[in-house]
Amino acid sequence: MTFQVLISDPLNEDGIKPLIDADHIEVHMLTNLSKAELLERIPEYDALIVRSQTKVTEDVIEKGERLKVIGRAGVGVDNIDLDAATERGIVVVNSPDGNTNSAAEHTMAMLMALARNIPQAHASIKNHNWDRKSFVGVELKDKILGIIGLGRIGTEVAYRARGQRLKVIAYDPYLTEEKAKQLGVQYGTLDDVLRKSDFITIHTPLLKETRHILSAGAFRKMKDGVQILNCARGGLIDEDALYRAIKSKKVRGAALDVFEEEPVKNYKLLDLPEVIATPHLGASTVEAQENVAVDVSYDVIRILNGGLPQNP
Ligand code: NAD
Ligand code: MLT
């Protein structure tokens, strides 16, 4: 028997080599399928591998009569209906740490770009303007970076931030005072982080409990002139509330890699000069893309061969 594997988002070709070389597995890379096309093709497949673009909704899972495994080449599984998959006995695997380093580095790049207005100054000089007055930034040294979600990426950001001589305060329901001490960060409640920080970066998954964790109420608690980063998931920030907080000058600036709707259709927030952004590039490095593709490839092979996944 030959197992059929559908890869429906672009994946690193070297990373999927184990899958391509595996016995009894045939791989089809069909990216940019419409929802209707995906629904039509999915009954042929034993495995589906996605990044964040394909939405693996209940109807896709229902139609996937042969599906045994869904692989997410990345961390967040919020684009997969986990309840529907579990109900059908389909295993969902991801790559929990294949892109940790890249996401942390991207967050630091955004933090520095935000503090020093680098994207705005770059656009200005490329437009043949010599303007040194409009782009006065702030130093990071001795500022307080608040981290919401001190998991894999949040922890790597904390290490790097200390290297920039920032003071770090973190909130995570699983963080203990002892662990915080070991990591060299201050242990705080969510309120502490909101009230004390000069910069706030979020690194939680998107869950019912974390949706709009940065809401209008949260912005009200923050220091005047706070700067906000989101390189985790759109939906963690209430974008309308952020827009209003920037317009009222409560928030000095924001650096966003992820959005409530992707690709972005409503550019109201992005059109603000105080907002710098990238189109969900946190994991877009050669290394991370190879790592995540390798991780899910091996897990998909294991499951199709009746074994257990490493990253369920
Ligand atoms: P992780 O599971 O290692 O860490 C997440 C942390 O969030 C955990 O420690 C958890 O306890 C904490 N958390 C959960 N609920 C919380 C709450 N209500 N308040 C505070 N903390 C809470 O995950 P990770 O690998 O660090 O990834 C974090 C996020 O980054 C995920 O959403 C992931 O999808 C996203 N991500 C984005 C990119 C990108 O391209 N921009 C790349 C990689 C990961
Ligand atoms: C992830 O959750 O791993 C990120 O969103 C990265 C990605 O899928 O590109």
Enumerate the β-bridge partners of residue 95. Answer: none
What value does the mean pLDDT take over residues 178-186? 96
Please tell me the distance between residue 171's alpha carbon and the centre of ligand 1 in angstroms: 12
Question: Which residues on adjacent β-strands are paired with residue 229?
Answer: 201, 255
Quick one: pLDDT band at residue 310, thresholds 50, 70, 90? confident
| Angstrom distance (rounded) from CA 247 to CA 267 | 15
Taking the CA of 233 as reference, the closest ligand is 1
Q: Does any ligand 1 atom lie closer than 6 A to the CB of residue 235?
A: no
Q: How far is CA 10 from CA 20, 32, 142, 241, in A?
A: 15, 9, 41, 33
Which ipTM was obtained for this model? 0.99
Provide the pLDDT confidence category of residue 4 given band limits of 50, 70 and 90. Answer: very high
Is 41 close to ligand 2, i.e. is its CB under 6 Å away? no
Residue 233 near ligand 2, beta carbon < 6 Å: no
Mutating to test ligand 1, I would choose from 52, 53, 153 the residue with most ligand atoms within 8 A of its C-beta, which is 153
Residues 37-77 have pLDDT tens digits of 999 999 999 999 999 999 999 999 999 999 999 999 999 99
| Cα–Cα distance for residue pair 136/117, rounded to 1 Å | 7
Is residue 90 within 8 A of residue 64, CB to CB? The reply is yes
pLDDT digits (tens, 9 = 90+) for 254-297: 999 999 999 999 999 999 999 999 999 999 999 999 999 999 99
Are 203 and 150 contacting, i.e. CB atoms less than 8 angstroms apart? Answer: yes
The ligand minimizing its distance to the Cα of 103 is: 1
Question: Ligand 2 center to residue 52 CA distance, Å?
Answer: 6
